[in-house]
Amino acid sequence: MPEEKQCKDRVREEFTGRLQDLRVIWEAEKEGSEGEADLKRQDLDLPTLNEYGLCFDYVPAHTFQGQRRGYFRYQLSWGGPSDEFRFFVNPDLSTDRIEYWFLDWFDGAKVILRGDDETFMVELWESWFEDFAQEAITKAEE
């Protein structure tokens, strides 16, 4: 039986697939239903942005061992494997750093977003997630 690939060997491909999905979904979201982008989304059997991820929440600093900063988590899947985007933000909620994480049973790897990928996810943050940020902080503090 072939040896299972580690997360570091799989993270780039998983990241690329997720980003492709999100680009299609976001274009459809901006265009509205019945547009060409929404038809492409439907042809690819992709859900709406509201339905794509599992949750959006805030993970306070020190939740996990060695975690010094809090971050907003857009969790896409759960279990083994799971994946998520992590948004590290400034006090004014502008993004400071965005990471994609691929995790699978005591193993994990990340991609730090740069260039067009980062620009795209900042747009998504500013247009979509930023509205949920304060609510997510409040829930985490309860």
Q: Is residue 1 part of a domain?
A: no
Provide the 10 A C-beta neighbour count for residue 46. Answer: 18
pLDDT at 2 over 80: no
Q: Is residue 62 part of a domain?
A: yes
Q: Is residue 33 part of a domain?
A: yes
Prediction pTM value: 0.90
Mean pLDDT of 4-19: 96
Question: What span, in angstroms and rounded, lies between the C-alpha atoms of 63 and 140?
Answer: 10
Question: Which tens digits make up the pLDDT trace of 74-125?
Answer: 999 998 799 999 999 998 999 999 999 999 988 999 999 999 999 999 999 9
Give CA separation, 94 vs 17, 25, 90, in Å. 26, 23, 5
Q: Is residue 103 part of a domain?
A: yes
Domain limits for position 112: 7-141
Q: Is residue 2 part of a domain?
A: no
pLDDT at 138: 83
- 27 exposure class (CB count in 10 Å sphere: 0-12, 13-18, 19+): middle
Domain count for the chain, please give it.
1
Question: Which tens digits make up the pLDDT trace of 28-72?
Answer: 999 887 789 999 999 999 999 989 999 999 999 999 999 999 999
Q: Is residue 84 part of a domain?
A: yes
pLDDT at 14: 97
Give CA separation, 137 vs 8, 102, 124, in Å. 30, 24, 19
The DSSP string of 44-103 is: TT---HHHHSSEEEEE-TTSSTT--S-EEEEEEE-SSSEEEEEEEE-TTS-EEEEEEEEE
Are 88 and 69 a contacting pair, CB within 8 Å?
yes
